[in-house]
Structure 1
Amino acid sequence: MTSNPPAIRRFDPDRKQRIINAALDVIVEYGVQGTTHRRVAKTAGVPLGSMTYHFDGMDDLLHQAFKQVAVASSSEFVRRLAKAGDREEAVQAIVDIIAGNIWSTPRTLLLSYELYAFAARKPELAAIMREWMQASRAALGRFFDTLTCRALDALVEGMGIHNSVDRSPLDRVEVEDIVRRICGQQ
């Protein structure tokens, strides 16, 4: 009687991250509703079984993928504001973030739309959005009062969304004028 050789398990320490990245690619292409285990596995180049090995279902995968988007986006926002030494530099940082599309790249915007819509249907994911907002507001809080921080945070996201679809997006001078108005620096 011959025995089969033991299966060789391939060491793939980056597999889980590849799956998360693939999930984001699939979300960009098909939306959350069109994101399936099969599409993600195919995009990641992994066996379908890897999906259930690394994640407790599609909600878990989507949660981790959206968490990655939120952390990356808020980290860039925080990093840019951390360079500001005073209120005027903070104003310029906010203008750079909005006018320079630091946050609002087409991919990040699309993923953000999907995250907001998905979180509206899955309240447990709203925590990701709250963490993102808290990080942004804490960075702004070095220079502005709480209410102004909230307004600026909403402006950064809202202006990015508007400029992404507006046929006449605001230019840098207009963005700076609006930021200064919110900051009481007309």
Structure 2
Amino acid sequence: MTGNRNTTRRFDPERKQRIINAALDVIVEHGVQGTTHRRVAKAAGVPLGSMSYHFTGMDELLHMAFKQVARTSSSEFVARMARAQDREGAIEAIVDIIAGNIWSTPRTLLLSYELYAFAARRPELAAIMREWMRASREALGRFFDPLTSRALDALVEGMGIHNSVDPCPLERHAIEDIVRRICRQ
């Protein structure tokens, strides 16, 4: 019997990206451990079968989702640093990145926490974090020596994390004071 079905396959070129975006939404809501194919498919508004069509498994989906978070956050950091023309401008950029929550929005911070924890158990994902750090340090390296760049990179992430949970987060002037102390030579 020939397959004369009345079903048509819908062309949906954005489906894979929608699934990745939905995976990030599910991670924010349920954490990595609570992220399932069923939850992601429902959040993306796609049939469950789309999950196995586009991804070999949950690990591949999580890898791509976290890679997107790192790439987006890193590009915003690098773009802000690229506008700096000199060391003083770089200091202002760093303060803007921390005080202005350029990368440390509540959503991005939560996804970063999940990525760090997940990558700690999966070495292949640590490469995403290393690439993110490399890009940040390279952008900082235009104005600062490698050790200072490393300290500033850690400060940006650490201060963002602290300010996200501190009932009295540091104000811009205090952040600038700390950045300037690190940048003294």
Q: CA deviation at 1:2?
A: 8.3
**Structure 2 CA distance for aligned equivalents of residues 91 and 171 of structure 1:** 16
Whole-angstrom CA distance in 1 between matches of 2:2 and 2:108: 55
Letter in 1 for 2:66: F
| TM-score for both structures, normalised by structure 2 | 0.97
In structure 1, the residue matched to 2:35 is 35
1:14-29 pair list within 5 angstroms: 14-29=14-29
- 1:101 matches 2:96: no
Partner of 1:149: 149
Q: Which runs of 5+ in 1 are unaligned?
A: none
Q: Do the aligned partners of residues 32 and 47 (structure 1) sit closer, same or farther apart at CA in structure 2, a change above 3 Å counting?
A: same
Listed as ranges, the gaps of 5+ residues in structure 2 are none
Distance apart, 1:130 and its partner CA: 0.1
Q: Pairwise mapping of residues 6-21 of structure 1 onto structure 2 (< 5 A)?
A: 7-21=7-21
- 1:159 and 2:166 are equivalent in the alignment: no
Matches within 5 A, 1:7-156: 7-156=7-156
Equivalent-residue separation in structure 1 for 2:3 and 2:152 (angstroms): 67
One-letter identity of the residue aligned with 1:94: I
Q: Report the AA paired with residue 28 of structure 2.
A: V
CA separation of 1:3 and 1:22: change in aligned 2, threshold 3 A: closer
Distance in 2, Cα, partners of 1:5 & 1:154 = 58
* Residue identity opposite 2:112 in structure 1: S
Deviations 1:61-83 (A, max 9, x none): 00000000000000000000000
> Which amino acid letter does the alignment assign opposite residue 154 of structure 1?
A
Please report the TM-score for the alignment, with normalisation by the length of structure 1. Answer: 0.97
Q: Name segments (4+ residues, structure 1) moved above 4 Å.
A: none
Matched, 1:175 2:175: yes
Identity among equivalent pairs (%): 82
How many pairs are equivalent?
A: 185
Distance, in Å, in 2 between the alignment partners of 1:52 and 1:128 is 23
Change (3 A) 1:2 1:34: closer
Comparing 176-185 and 29-38, the one that deviates more:
176-185
Aligned residue type for 2:40:
V
What is the CA–CA distance in structure 1 between the aligned matches of 2:3 and 2:165, rounded to whole Å?
63
RMSD value over aligned CA atoms? 1.3
